[in-house]
Amino acid sequence: MEPSKDFISTFMIAVSNCSLYSKEHEAFDELAKKTLAVLEEDLKDRLEIMIIDDELIVNKKPLRGGGLHRINIIKRLKKKGISRVDFLEGITLSEIKQFIIDISEPGKRLKSYPHIRTGAVDIRMGGLKMDAVDINNLTFSPLEEIEKVKEVFHSAKPHRKLDIAGLEEVVVHFIGSFKKEANLLKLLSPIKSYSEYTYTHATNVSILSVLQAESLGIKDDLLHEFGMAALLHDAGKLFISREVLDKKGKLDDKEYAEIKKHPLYGARYLAKMDHLTRLAPIIAFEHHIKYDGSGYPDSRLNGKKQHICSQIVAISDFFDALRSRRPYRESWETGKIVALMKKNAGKDFNPMLLNNFTGLLRTALN
């Protein structure tokens, strides 16, 4: 086995077995020592691991083969919002042990390590920028997050996978921001231009949905997966013509019929992505279905109830859509939106979820 594959396999065996042993257990100590020994064989001055388009890149070269261990390290890193890891010369056993523990535990934030740098591969127009940054020092900036979402969405094509790692990083920032900002409305971004609506709205809906999910006790990996799915709820609009999306007047019947196809387009597109949570195509398909089964696509034909995660996103989607200024109308005030939503509770929205959502808004405004 070539050295880089040997390291990936040894590292993932240690991560997989970490939950079986305590940090002081001899077996864990042996696994960590073996991982360090293999790593030191690979190191000249650094070992660089990156994820680009679901490919594992080691020291600038794609890693072929590697089987399940290669697939699992991609999944583990993405769940942490990481798409790049640099191991530097001088790394110690205690550092590699702590890194294995942090990667193995769902929802655990990564610590700062002297000889391990974790961050993101930043793909921008005009070239590839690959500066590693410490994920723990990243701060939430709505405009920066929207720009990242915009970059990822712009790269989307019918037969090309989304840069999931880039979106994972955005969701990690959302969740971290809730602990720093009590007023959730300050986390939401205004629509600067009509052409930015798709990206800004996706970001805002994810923030609102994750906040409600967290208040209901959803946490760790499931919260991250839900945030990803909410961020992609309108992915189908990437396949609707810009002329229709950016129209500065009311849509005619033909244009509205095209818009109504976006849940189906989104579900089909996201269902093809192996490394994406199964919630994503479900929410993309169901977010315009109403609590009573009306809305679109017509779900009354199959008799299935709307998924609770789709119900959460439907509330966030409606709220942010009305608070955003659009080409054909002005933005609504929060009180007016809440009054309309309460009027439609039990028909359009899950009453319990809506009550919880408005309670969160009340807390934020107070």
In the chain, what's the furthest Cα-to-Cα distance? 70
Q: Does residue 176 share a domain with residue 154?
A: yes
pLDDT band at 210 (very low <50, low <70, confident <90, very high): very high
What mean pLDDT comes out for the span 263-272? 93
Q: Does residue 360 share a domain with residue 264?
A: yes
pTM for the model stands at 0.64
> Above 50 in pLDDT, residue 130?
no
* Domain, as residue range, for 25: 3-135
- Which of the following is catalytic: 79, 148, 237, 290? 237
Q: Does residue 190 share a domain with residue 50?
A: no
pLDDT for 209 equals 95
Q: Does residue 216 share a domain with residue 77?
A: no
The total number of structural domains in the chain stands at 2
What mean pLDDT comes out for the span 174-183? 61
Q: Does residue 295 share a domain with residue 211?
A: yes
What mean pLDDT comes out for the span 87-92? 89
Structural domain ending residue among the three candidates 135, 161, 179: 135
What mean pLDDT comes out for the span 50-58? 81
Contact between 29 and 19 (Cβ < 8 Å): no
CA 324 distance to own-chain centroid: 22
> Above 90 in pLDDT, residue 318?
yes
Residue 237 catalytic? yes
Which residues in 165-175 are b (16+ Cβ under 10 Å) and which e? bbbbbbbbbbb
> Above 50 in pLDDT, residue 347?
yes
pLDDT band at 246 (very low <50, low <70, confident <90, very high): confident
Structural Rg of the chain based on CA atoms: 22
Q: Does residue 154 share a domain with residue 130?
A: no
Q: Does residue 169 share a domain with residue 100?
A: no
> Above 50 in pLDDT, residue 194?
no
Contact between 224 and 176 (Cβ < 8 Å): no
Least confident of 87-101, 251-265, 300-314: 300-314
Least confident of 313-317, 324-328, 340-344: 324-328
